[in-house]
Structure 1
Amino acid sequence: MNRQQFMLAMEIHLRPMEPQERAELLADYDQHFELGLREGRLEEEIARELGQPEEIAKEALGERYDMYTPGTDAFYAPTYREMRSPRNSARATRNFFTAVGLLFLNLMLGIPIGLTLWSVWLTLASLSLLVLAPVAAVVDFVFLGQLEKPEIFVAIGAFGVGICFAIASKYVFRAFKNTTLQYIQWNKNTMKGDVSA
Protein backbone atom coordinates (compact mmCIF):
# COMPACT_ATOMS: atom_id res chain seq x y z
CA MET A 1 0.00 0.00 0.00
CA ASN A 2 1.48 3.34 -0.99
CA ARG A 3 0.95 6.73 0.63
CA GLN A 4 -2.07 7.75 -1.43
CA GLN A 5 -3.85 4.43 -0.87
CA PHE A 6 -3.09 4.51 2.86
CA MET A 7 -4.37 8.08 3.30
CA LEU A 8 -7.52 7.40 1.27
CA ALA A 9 -8.26 4.27 3.33
CA MET A 10 -7.72 6.27 6.52
CA GLU A 11 -10.09 8.99 5.32
CA ILE A 12 -12.76 6.42 4.48
CA HIS A 13 -12.52 4.56 7.78
CA LEU A 14 -12.45 7.77 9.82
CA ARG A 15 -15.66 9.23 8.31
CA PRO A 16 -17.66 8.95 11.55
CA MET A 17 -15.12 11.29 13.20
CA GLU A 18 -15.67 15.06 13.40
CA PRO A 19 -14.14 16.77 10.31
CA GLN A 20 -11.68 18.90 12.33
CA GLU A 21 -10.53 15.94 14.44
CA ARG A 22 -10.25 13.74 11.34
CA ALA A 23 -8.20 16.39 9.49
CA GLU A 24 -5.76 16.65 12.42
CA LEU A 25 -5.32 12.89 12.64
CA LEU A 26 -4.81 12.59 8.89
CA ALA A 27 -2.27 15.42 9.01
CA ASP A 28 -0.33 13.50 11.69
CA TYR A 29 -0.16 10.39 9.53
CA ASP A 30 0.75 12.44 6.48
CA GLN A 31 3.59 13.93 8.53
CA HIS A 32 4.84 10.37 9.26
CA PHE A 33 5.12 9.80 5.51
CA GLU A 34 6.94 13.11 5.02
CA LEU A 35 9.52 12.30 7.69
CA GLY A 36 10.01 8.74 6.43
CA LEU A 37 10.50 9.88 2.84
CA ARG A 38 13.10 12.43 3.96
CA GLU A 39 14.98 9.57 5.63
CA GLY A 40 15.00 7.75 2.29
CA ARG A 41 12.43 5.08 3.14
CA LEU A 42 9.82 3.74 0.72
CA GLU A 43 6.13 4.66 1.03
CA GLU A 44 5.15 0.98 1.28
CA GLU A 45 7.60 0.45 4.14
CA ILE A 46 6.21 3.46 6.05
CA ALA A 47 2.62 2.27 5.50
CA ARG A 48 3.50 -1.21 6.79
CA GLU A 49 5.11 0.33 9.86
CA LEU A 50 2.06 2.49 10.61
CA GLY A 51 -0.33 -0.47 10.47
CA GLN A 52 -3.67 -1.26 8.86
CA PRO A 53 -5.98 1.74 8.35
CA GLU A 54 -8.99 -0.24 9.66
CA GLU A 55 -7.21 -1.05 12.92
CA ILE A 56 -6.03 2.53 13.35
CA ALA A 57 -9.58 3.79 12.74
CA LYS A 58 -11.04 1.23 15.16
CA GLU A 59 -8.66 2.43 17.87
CA ALA A 60 -9.17 6.14 17.13
CA LEU A 61 -12.97 5.96 16.90
CA GLY A 62 -13.58 3.64 19.82
CA GLU A 63 -17.35 3.22 20.18
CA ARG A 64 -18.02 5.30 17.10
CA TYR A 65 -16.35 2.66 14.90
CA ASP A 66 -18.84 1.08 12.49
CA MET A 67 -18.78 -2.72 12.55
CA TYR A 68 -19.60 -2.93 8.85
CA THR A 69 -16.75 -3.00 6.39
CA PRO A 70 -16.61 -0.01 4.03
CA GLY A 71 -17.41 -2.27 1.10
CA THR A 72 -20.81 -3.33 2.45
CA ASP A 73 -21.97 -0.27 4.39
CA ALA A 74 -23.89 2.26 2.29
CA PHE A 75 -22.19 5.05 4.24
CA TYR A 76 -18.74 3.99 3.00
CA ALA A 77 -19.45 2.16 -0.25
CA PRO A 78 -19.12 4.86 -2.96
CA THR A 79 -15.66 6.05 -1.93
CA TYR A 80 -14.45 2.57 -1.04
CA ARG A 81 -15.26 1.35 -4.55
CA GLU A 82 -13.21 4.23 -5.94
CA MET A 83 -10.26 3.17 -3.79
CA ARG A 84 -10.40 -0.49 -4.82
CA SER A 85 -9.99 -1.24 -8.49
CA PRO A 86 -12.75 -3.61 -9.62
CA ARG A 87 -11.77 -7.04 -10.82
CA ASN A 88 -12.79 -7.24 -14.41
CA SER A 89 -12.85 -10.77 -15.80
CA ALA A 90 -13.77 -9.48 -19.26
CA ARG A 91 -10.58 -7.42 -19.33
CA ALA A 92 -8.51 -10.44 -18.26
CA THR A 93 -10.06 -12.51 -21.04
CA ARG A 94 -9.43 -9.76 -23.58
CA ASN A 95 -5.80 -9.48 -22.42
CA PHE A 96 -5.34 -13.24 -22.73
CA PHE A 97 -6.66 -13.38 -26.31
CA THR A 98 -4.74 -10.24 -27.24
CA ALA A 99 -1.53 -11.83 -25.95
CA VAL A 100 -2.20 -15.05 -27.87
CA GLY A 101 -2.97 -13.09 -31.05
CA LEU A 102 0.18 -10.99 -30.71
CA LEU A 103 2.24 -14.12 -30.06
CA PHE A 104 1.07 -15.72 -33.30
CA LEU A 105 1.42 -12.47 -35.26
CA ASN A 106 4.97 -12.03 -34.02
CA LEU A 107 5.93 -15.66 -34.63
CA MET A 108 4.42 -15.75 -38.13
CA LEU A 109 5.24 -12.25 -39.39
CA GLY A 110 6.94 -9.89 -36.96
CA ILE A 111 10.02 -11.92 -36.09
CA PRO A 112 10.72 -13.30 -39.62
CA ILE A 113 10.31 -9.89 -41.25
CA GLY A 114 12.38 -8.27 -38.52
CA LEU A 115 15.17 -10.81 -38.93
CA THR A 116 15.10 -10.31 -42.70
CA LEU A 117 15.43 -6.55 -42.33
CA TRP A 118 18.25 -6.83 -39.82
CA SER A 119 20.08 -9.34 -42.05
CA VAL A 120 19.97 -6.74 -44.85
CA TRP A 121 21.62 -4.28 -42.48
CA LEU A 122 24.20 -6.90 -41.46
CA THR A 123 25.03 -7.50 -45.12
CA LEU A 124 25.52 -3.78 -45.73
CA ALA A 125 27.64 -3.47 -42.60
CA SER A 126 29.83 -6.41 -43.61
CA LEU A 127 30.29 -4.96 -47.12
CA SER A 128 31.58 -1.78 -45.50
CA LEU A 129 34.65 -3.84 -44.54
CA LEU A 130 35.82 -3.27 -48.11
CA VAL A 131 37.43 -0.10 -46.72
CA LEU A 132 40.19 -2.43 -45.52
CA ALA A 133 41.20 -3.30 -49.11
CA PRO A 134 44.17 -0.87 -49.11
CA VAL A 135 45.43 -2.50 -45.92
CA ALA A 136 45.31 -5.88 -47.67
CA ALA A 137 47.27 -4.42 -50.62
CA VAL A 138 49.94 -3.04 -48.25
CA VAL A 139 50.20 -6.39 -46.46
CA ASP A 140 50.52 -8.10 -49.83
CA PHE A 141 53.33 -5.72 -50.79
CA VAL A 142 55.17 -6.10 -47.45
CA PHE A 143 55.08 -9.91 -47.30
CA LEU A 144 55.17 -10.83 -50.98
CA GLY A 145 57.16 -7.86 -52.19
CA GLN A 146 54.98 -7.23 -55.20
CA LEU A 147 52.24 -4.73 -55.89
CA GLU A 148 50.80 -4.41 -59.36
CA LYS A 149 48.91 -1.42 -60.76
CA PRO A 150 45.58 -3.27 -61.19
CA GLU A 151 45.79 -4.34 -57.56
CA ILE A 152 46.25 -0.70 -56.46
CA PHE A 153 43.24 0.44 -58.50
CA VAL A 154 41.09 -2.41 -57.18
CA ALA A 155 42.11 -1.55 -53.59
CA ILE A 156 41.25 2.14 -54.08
CA GLY A 157 37.92 1.25 -55.73
CA ALA A 158 37.04 -1.22 -52.98
CA PHE A 159 37.92 1.44 -50.39
CA GLY A 160 35.43 3.88 -51.99
CA VAL A 161 32.72 1.24 -52.28
CA GLY A 162 33.31 0.28 -48.63
CA ILE A 163 32.82 3.91 -47.56
CA CYS A 164 29.52 4.03 -49.50
CA PHE A 165 28.33 0.83 -47.81
CA ALA A 166 29.37 2.17 -44.38
CA ILE A 167 27.32 5.35 -44.92
CA ALA A 168 24.35 3.34 -46.22
CA SER A 169 24.51 0.92 -43.29
CA LYS A 170 24.44 3.86 -40.84
CA TYR A 171 21.16 5.21 -42.29
CA VAL A 172 19.64 1.77 -42.68
CA PHE A 173 20.51 0.99 -39.05
CA ARG A 174 18.70 4.14 -37.86
CA ALA A 175 15.63 3.37 -39.96
CA PHE A 176 15.43 -0.27 -38.85
CA LYS A 177 16.04 0.67 -35.21
CA ASN A 178 13.18 3.19 -35.30
CA THR A 179 10.89 0.70 -37.05
CA THR A 180 11.72 -2.02 -34.52
CA LEU A 181 11.12 0.30 -31.54
CA GLN A 182 7.80 1.48 -33.01
CA TYR A 183 6.71 -2.12 -33.54
CA ILE A 184 7.60 -3.01 -29.94
CA GLN A 185 5.69 0.06 -28.71
CA TRP A 186 2.70 -0.94 -30.84
CA ASN A 187 2.77 -4.39 -29.19
CA LYS A 188 2.80 -2.75 -25.73
CA ASN A 189 -0.04 -0.37 -26.61
CA THR A 190 -2.09 -3.23 -28.04
CA MET A 191 -1.65 -5.21 -24.83
CA LYS A 192 -2.76 -2.19 -22.79
CA GLY A 193 -5.80 -1.79 -25.04
CA ASP A 194 -4.72 1.60 -26.35
CA VAL A 195 -5.97 1.25 -29.92
CA SER A 196 -5.44 4.93 -30.73
CA ALA A 197 -1.63 4.59 -30.50
Structure 2
Amino acid sequence: MNRQQFMQAMEIHLRPMEPQERAELLADYDQHFELGLREGRLEEEIARELGQPEEIAKEALGDRYDAHTPGSDAFYAPTYQEMRSPRNSTKATRNFFTAIGLLFLNLILGIPLGLTLWSVWLTIASLSLLVLAPVAAVVDFVFLGQLDKAEIFVAIGAFGVGILFALAAKSVYKAFKKITLQYIKWNKNTMKGDVSA
Protein backbone atom coordinates (compact mmCIF):
# COMPACT_ATOMS: atom_id res chain seq x y z
CA MET A 1 0.00 0.00 0.00
CA ASN A 2 1.48 3.31 -1.06
CA ARG A 3 1.04 6.73 0.55
CA GLN A 4 -2.01 7.75 -1.51
CA GLN A 5 -3.82 4.44 -0.89
CA PHE A 6 -3.03 4.60 2.83
CA MET A 7 -4.28 8.19 3.18
CA GLN A 8 -7.46 7.48 1.18
CA ALA A 9 -8.22 4.43 3.33
CA MET A 10 -7.63 6.50 6.48
CA GLU A 11 -9.94 9.23 5.19
CA ILE A 12 -12.71 6.71 4.53
CA HIS A 13 -12.41 4.91 7.87
CA LEU A 14 -12.22 8.15 9.85
CA ARG A 15 -15.44 9.58 8.38
CA PRO A 16 -17.35 9.36 11.72
CA MET A 17 -14.80 11.73 13.28
CA GLU A 18 -15.42 15.48 13.50
CA PRO A 19 -13.90 17.15 10.40
CA GLN A 20 -11.32 19.21 12.30
CA GLU A 21 -10.21 16.25 14.44
CA ARG A 22 -10.00 14.05 11.33
CA ALA A 23 -7.92 16.66 9.45
CA GLU A 24 -5.45 16.90 12.35
CA LEU A 25 -5.04 13.13 12.56
CA LEU A 26 -4.59 12.79 8.80
CA ALA A 27 -1.99 15.58 8.87
CA ASP A 28 -0.07 13.63 11.54
CA TYR A 29 0.04 10.50 9.38
CA ASP A 30 0.93 12.52 6.30
CA GLN A 31 3.85 13.96 8.26
CA HIS A 32 5.02 10.40 9.06
CA PHE A 33 5.25 9.77 5.33
CA GLU A 34 7.15 13.05 4.78
CA LEU A 35 9.71 12.23 7.47
CA GLY A 36 10.12 8.65 6.24
CA LEU A 37 10.63 9.73 2.65
CA ARG A 38 13.29 12.24 3.74
CA GLU A 39 15.10 9.37 5.43
CA GLY A 40 15.05 7.50 2.11
CA ARG A 41 12.46 4.88 2.99
CA LEU A 42 9.79 3.58 0.60
CA GLU A 43 6.11 4.58 0.93
CA GLU A 44 5.09 0.91 1.25
CA GLU A 45 7.55 0.41 4.11
CA ILE A 46 6.25 3.46 5.98
CA ALA A 47 2.63 2.35 5.46
CA ARG A 48 3.49 -1.13 6.80
CA GLU A 49 5.11 0.42 9.90
CA LEU A 50 2.09 2.63 10.58
CA GLY A 51 -0.30 -0.32 10.43
CA GLN A 52 -3.65 -1.03 8.83
CA PRO A 53 -5.85 2.06 8.33
CA GLU A 54 -8.89 0.14 9.57
CA GLU A 55 -7.18 -0.78 12.85
CA ILE A 56 -5.89 2.77 13.34
CA ALA A 57 -9.42 4.11 12.75
CA LYS A 58 -10.91 1.60 15.22
CA GLU A 59 -8.49 2.76 17.89
CA ALA A 60 -8.95 6.46 17.13
CA LEU A 61 -12.75 6.31 16.98
CA GLY A 62 -13.39 3.91 19.85
CA ASP A 63 -17.14 3.29 20.22
CA ARG A 64 -17.92 5.55 17.24
CA TYR A 65 -16.44 2.99 14.81
CA ASP A 66 -18.94 0.79 12.97
CA ALA A 67 -17.43 -1.59 10.42
CA HIS A 68 -20.65 -3.61 9.93
CA THR A 69 -23.04 -1.07 8.49
CA PRO A 70 -25.72 -3.00 6.54
CA GLY A 71 -25.58 -2.61 2.77
CA SER A 72 -22.17 -1.01 2.68
CA ASP A 73 -18.81 -2.05 1.42
CA ALA A 74 -15.82 -2.93 3.59
CA PHE A 75 -14.45 0.63 3.46
CA TYR A 76 -17.68 2.36 4.49
CA ALA A 77 -17.89 4.16 7.78
CA PRO A 78 -20.69 6.63 8.52
CA THR A 79 -19.90 10.34 8.51
CA TYR A 80 -19.80 12.43 11.66
CA GLN A 81 -23.29 13.80 10.89
CA GLU A 82 -24.67 10.30 10.23
CA MET A 83 -23.30 9.17 13.58
CA ARG A 84 -24.78 12.19 15.40
CA SER A 85 -28.37 11.78 14.16
CA PRO A 86 -29.25 8.47 15.87
CA ARG A 87 -27.62 9.65 19.08
CA ASN A 88 -29.72 12.82 19.04
CA SER A 89 -32.93 10.84 18.53
CA THR A 90 -31.86 8.43 21.27
CA LYS A 91 -31.19 11.39 23.54
CA ALA A 92 -34.59 12.89 22.70
CA THR A 93 -36.27 9.58 23.49
CA ARG A 94 -34.37 9.29 26.77
CA ASN A 95 -35.29 12.87 27.67
CA PHE A 96 -38.95 12.20 26.90
CA PHE A 97 -39.14 9.12 29.13
CA THR A 98 -37.10 10.83 31.85
CA ALA A 99 -39.54 13.75 31.80
CA ILE A 100 -42.52 11.38 32.03
CA GLY A 101 -40.90 9.50 34.94
CA LEU A 102 -40.07 12.73 36.77
CA LEU A 103 -43.61 14.03 36.21
CA PHE A 104 -45.13 10.94 37.84
CA LEU A 105 -42.56 10.92 40.64
CA ASN A 106 -43.26 14.58 41.38
CA LEU A 107 -47.04 14.18 41.19
CA ILE A 108 -47.12 11.09 43.38
CA LEU A 109 -44.31 11.79 45.83
CA GLY A 110 -42.42 15.07 45.38
CA ILE A 111 -45.25 17.61 45.39
CA PRO A 112 -47.32 16.02 48.21
CA LEU A 113 -44.24 15.65 50.43
CA GLY A 114 -43.12 19.18 49.60
CA LEU A 115 -46.54 20.61 50.42
CA THR A 116 -46.59 18.65 53.68
CA LEU A 117 -43.18 19.99 54.67
CA TRP A 118 -44.10 23.58 53.87
CA SER A 119 -47.45 23.18 55.68
CA VAL A 120 -45.52 22.19 58.81
CA TRP A 121 -43.39 25.31 58.43
CA LEU A 122 -46.50 27.48 57.90
CA THR A 123 -48.05 26.07 61.09
CA ILE A 124 -44.90 26.80 63.11
CA ALA A 125 -44.66 30.29 61.60
CA SER A 126 -48.32 30.94 62.44
CA LEU A 127 -47.76 29.92 66.04
CA SER A 128 -45.00 32.50 66.26
CA LEU A 129 -47.77 35.12 66.13
CA LEU A 130 -48.24 34.40 69.84
CA VAL A 131 -45.65 37.14 70.36
CA LEU A 132 -48.56 39.53 69.81
CA ALA A 133 -50.34 38.35 72.99
CA PRO A 134 -49.11 41.34 75.06
CA VAL A 135 -50.49 43.68 72.38
CA ALA A 136 -53.87 41.94 72.69
CA ALA A 137 -53.74 42.36 76.50
CA VAL A 138 -52.99 46.10 76.13
CA VAL A 139 -55.83 46.51 73.61
CA ASP A 140 -58.12 44.67 76.00
CA PHE A 141 -57.10 47.04 78.81
CA VAL A 142 -57.48 50.18 76.66
CA PHE A 143 -60.89 49.37 75.21
CA LEU A 144 -62.47 47.33 78.00
CA GLY A 145 -60.65 48.86 80.91
CA GLN A 146 -59.96 45.58 82.59
CA LEU A 147 -56.76 43.60 82.99
CA ASP A 148 -56.30 40.89 85.61
CA LYS A 149 -53.11 39.15 86.74
CA ALA A 150 -53.93 35.87 84.98
CA GLU A 151 -54.28 37.67 81.69
CA ILE A 152 -50.89 39.38 82.18
CA PHE A 153 -49.16 36.06 82.96
CA VAL A 154 -50.82 34.34 79.98
CA ALA A 155 -49.76 37.22 77.70
CA ILE A 156 -46.14 37.05 78.93
CA GLY A 157 -46.09 33.24 78.60
CA ALA A 158 -47.61 33.39 75.10
CA PHE A 159 -45.01 36.03 74.15
CA GLY A 160 -42.18 33.69 75.22
CA VAL A 161 -43.71 30.71 73.41
CA GLY A 162 -44.19 32.89 70.31
CA ILE A 163 -40.47 33.79 70.34
CA LEU A 164 -39.58 30.08 70.55
CA PHE A 165 -41.88 29.29 67.61
CA ALA A 166 -40.36 32.20 65.63
CA LEU A 167 -36.84 30.81 66.18
CA ALA A 168 -38.04 27.31 65.27
CA ALA A 169 -39.78 28.65 62.14
CA LYS A 170 -36.52 30.29 61.02
CA SER A 171 -34.51 27.06 61.43
CA VAL A 172 -37.19 24.93 59.79
CA TYR A 173 -37.43 27.41 56.90
CA LYS A 174 -33.69 27.17 56.21
CA ALA A 175 -33.76 23.35 56.31
CA PHE A 176 -36.86 23.03 54.09
CA LYS A 177 -35.51 25.62 51.63
CA LYS A 178 -32.26 23.64 51.33
CA ILE A 179 -34.14 20.36 50.79
CA THR A 180 -36.45 21.95 48.20
CA LEU A 181 -33.58 23.51 46.24
CA GLN A 182 -31.63 20.23 46.26
CA TYR A 183 -34.69 18.37 44.99
CA ILE A 184 -35.18 20.91 42.18
CA LYS A 185 -31.47 20.66 41.30
CA TRP A 186 -31.72 16.85 41.26
CA ASN A 187 -34.68 17.10 38.84
CA LYS A 188 -32.68 19.40 36.53
CA ASN A 189 -29.60 17.16 36.64
CA THR A 190 -31.70 14.07 35.96
CA MET A 191 -33.21 15.75 32.91
CA LYS A 192 -29.70 16.65 31.68
CA GLY A 193 -28.61 13.05 32.20
CA ASP A 194 -26.14 13.84 34.97
CA VAL A 195 -26.96 10.94 37.29
CA SER A 196 -24.00 11.51 39.63
CA ALA A 197 -25.23 14.90 40.84
Residue 122 in 1 paired to residue 117 in 2?
no
Q: Residue 90 of structure 1: CA displacement?
A: 1.0
- Report what 1:102 is aligned to: 102
Residue identity (%):
77
Larger Rg belongs to? 2
* Distance (whole Å) between structure 1 residues aligned to residue 152 and residue 95 of structure 2: 63
Q: Which amino acid aligns with 1:160?
A: G
Structure 2 counterparts to residues 22-171 of structure 1, below 5 A: 81=80, 86-87=84-85, 88-171=88-171
How far does the alpha carbon of each residue in 1:45-99 deviate from its partner, in whole angstroms, 9 at most, with x for none?
xxxxxxxxxxxxxxxxxxxxxxxxxxxxxxxx97xx48x9923211111110000
Structure 2 counterpart SS, 1:177: helix
Where do residues 174-185 of structure 1 align in structure 2 (5 Å cutoff)? 174-185=174-185
Q: How many corresponding residue pairs?
A: 121
The CA distance in 2 between the partners of 1:195 and 1:129, in whole Å, is 43
Aligned equivalents of 1:138, 1:196: Cα separation in 2: 58
Matched, 1:196 2:193: no
1-structure distance, mates of 2:91, 2:180: 28
- The residue identity in structure 2 corresponding to 1:86 is R
- The answer for unaligned runs of 5 or more in structure 2 is 1-18, 24-77
Runs of 4+ in 1 over 6 A off after TM superposition: none
In 1: Cα distance, 2:89 partner to 2:145 partner:
79
SS of structure 2 residue aligned to 1:147:
coil
Q: Once the 2 structures are TM-superposed, how far is the Cα of residue 144 of structure 1 from its aligned partner?
A: 0.4
